[in-house]
Amino acid sequence: MIFVARSPREAKVVTSLRREHWAAAVVADSLDFAPRADLPCIYGVGAAELAPLEEGDVVCLDPSGDIALLYKIGNPHNSLLATNRCNCLCVMCPQRPGDDPPGLLENNLKLLALMDAARTTALGITGGEPTLLGDDLVRLIEACRQKLPRARLTLLTNARRFKDLEFARAVVRAGYPQLFMEIPLFADNDTQHDAVMGARGSFYDTLEALHHLALLGQPVGLRTVLHAMTIGRLVPYAEFIYRNLPYVFQVAFMGMETIGLASDNLERLWVDPYDYRLELAAAVRYLARRLVPVSIYNHQLCILPAEVWPYARQSITTWKQAYPPVCEACRVRDRCGGVFGTGKRHSAYLRAVG
């Protein structure tokens, strides 16, 4: 545990902390404080950085003084980054694939052990592509299920490796009954899907995997990210899912987060969401009328036709969520998920709903 000193009284307490009970102390910049040689201390930390920290959070303290928040108690958007590696290279990937630091799995298991079982109701397992961990993914999911019996576990995966039925079976078993999978399917045809994923053969790999997961009774959702390479065939995409993949639990149409590779490729990918709103509404209508659960993620209410507002979710992770000044006077701000504060660009058509 770390001790956070925000007041002069708490700064005095740091001098008497017992080393066996406390891993480190973090002290606000406004306080007089005598560092201790036997206890790692980070001091001179700004109030804004300290404000969000509360008991039960898990942070990583870097000797440079940086504080990284790894787990926020009670927040539904916590996740474990299983790996940075990937077997695809999606044109709009917000997280550039790369190598893993040593000991990533062990660090994830340590982080998991520090999470609050009672107050963690959801946990994501993300990447990179988590299935590249192979048997270690089975181990990680089992550990999540045992440590967090109340949590819904969501695995974000391109699922290609579930072409291997036995591996799929091992992962499904490890996570049952808490595991849900979110799988990208970007088109109703191999040419467009493979081009978006940067991986030839990925469309048919994913379809084979989806059938294996259906055979195993694994709940899955499908998702696509909307940009210049995907918006051209949204209704045929919806029809393809309805006719060929009737077992999926939900379909999500996602706005693009303009960081990582999406930022690198922004000029060829960016379409203002206002300009594709009618095609999006038609695809949502197609699925909803056929009772396929459908969601719109990362889109602002003011740029969507009102008929699809009931499908728009507040999906942006809380610490990435932002509301530009135009939102101040907006009547539906409480229901709107806002924009990505991390993003480079958002719609030019945002306007307060009166």
Among 228, 333, 342, 345, binds ligand SF4 (CB under 6 A): 333
Sign of CA dihedral 200, 204, 207, 209: negative
15 versus 314: smaller Cβ distance to ligand SF4: 314
CB of 253 vs ligand SF4, minimal distance in Å: 17
Near ligand SF4 by CB under 6 A: residue from 92, 327, 340, 343: 327
Q: Is 350 in the site for ligand SF4 (CB under 6 A)?
A: yes
**Which residue from 179, 222, 308, 330 is in contact with ligand SF4, where contact means CB under 6 A?**
330
Of positions 176, 204, 270, 323, contacts ligand SF4 by CB under 6 A = 323
The rounded distance, in Å, linking the Cα atoms of 102 and 151 is 28
For residue 59, the one-letter residue type is V
DSSP 99: P
Query: Do 212 and 263 contact (CB within 8 A), yes or no?
Result: no
Q: Minimum distance between the CB of residue 255 and ligand SF4, rounded to whole angstroms?
A: 11
Note whether 185 binds ligand SF4 by CB under 6 A: no
Q: Which of 12, 332, 342, 345 binds ligand SF4 (CB under 6 A)?
A: 332
Query: Nearer Cβ to ligand SF4, position 3 or 323?
Result: 323
Q: Residue 177, preceding bond cis, omega within 30 degrees?
A: yes
- Which of 198, 196, 199 lies closest to 185, judged by CA? 196
Burial (CB count within 10 angstroms: exposed 0-12, middle 13-18, buried 19+), residue 147: middle
Query: How far apart are alpha carbons 186 and 188 in whole angstroms?
Result: 7
Q: Which is nearer to ligand SF4, 122 or 352 (CB)?
A: 352
The residue ranges that bind ligand SF4 (CB under 6 A) are 300-302, 323, 326-327, 330, 332-333, 336, 338, 350-353
